[in-house]
Amino acid sequence: MARYRGPGLVLTDGTAVNSGDTVGELHLDNQRATALHLEGSGGFRFRQEIYRLLPALALDLCTCPEYHEINAVHGATMFWRSPALMSKTGFEHRPLPPFTRWWLGTWERILLAGYHPEGQRRLRKGRRTELRQVWITRRTLLRSLERQVEHPKDESASAAGTGHGGSAVDP
């Protein structure tokens, strides 16, 4: 949980987020994220973890009293460029302020060099991706939980019922 300190914004489903509102903040568990790369296909495994996390996060928003005032959850990520991930999860992305983008982007590269199995060599591969904010609303998360309940055999939803604790992403 964190207090939002940016300018007011209205997300796609009409949810308003104002400066001072309590929001959820997503952070990667670096050691678990590293483990996703050990057998290859790290990006694919990361997406599976995101799909698994969302219904568990929605359940936490519903059942944990300390989360009842949270109407939106956000994080900074380089993974916003995947249209399939954004549309399937319900996240939307927005640019970060320039200094925040520079600072967090530098920090992300330090973490990548330190935790990625290829270390600093990984930084020299590919192009640099702009770091952006991603947002998802409580309403969207609750819909993902409803889909899991309605279609428990769905591949992306069936793993979601395990809750958090084994996820690469910690709310």
Top-confidence residue, 115 or 102: 102
pLDDT for 166 equals 39
d(CA 136, CA 163): 18
Q: Which two tokens stand for residue 137?
A: 């609303």
pLDDT of residue 24: 96
pTM over 0.95: no
Q: Is residue 7 a part of any domain in this protein?
A: yes
What is the identity of the amino acid at 9? L
| pLDDT of 124 higher than 70 | no
- Count of structural domains within the chain: 1
Q: Please check whether residue 169 lies inside any domain of the structure.
A: no
For helices 30-37 and 42-63, angle between their N-to-C axes, nearest 10 degrees = 140
Instruction: Say if 55 falls within a structural domain.
Output: yes
Residue 14 has pLDDT above 90, yes or no: yes
Q: Which residue from 92, 80, 70, 78 is spatially nearest to 136, judged by alpha carbons? A: 92
The verdict on residue 170 lying in a domain is no
Query: Please, what's the b/e burial string for 44-77 (b: 16 or more CB within 10 A of its CB; e: otherwise)?
Result: ebbbbbbbbbbbbbbbbbeeeeebeebbbbbbbb
Q: Does residue 144 register a pLDDT over 70?
A: yes
**Which one-letter DSSP state was computed for residue 130?**
P
Q: 59: domain range?
A: 2-162
Which of 44-48, 113-117, 152-156, 160-164 has the lowest average pLDDT? 160-164
Residue 42: pLDDT band with limits 50, 70, 90: low
pLDDT band at 4 (very low <50, low <70, confident <90, very high): very high
The answer to which of 4-8, 68-72, 130-134 has the lowest mean pLDDT is 130-134
At 126 the three-state DSSP class reads coil
Q: In this structure, is residue 50 part of a structural domain?
A: yes
Residue 22 main-chain phi, psi, to 5 deg: -80, 130
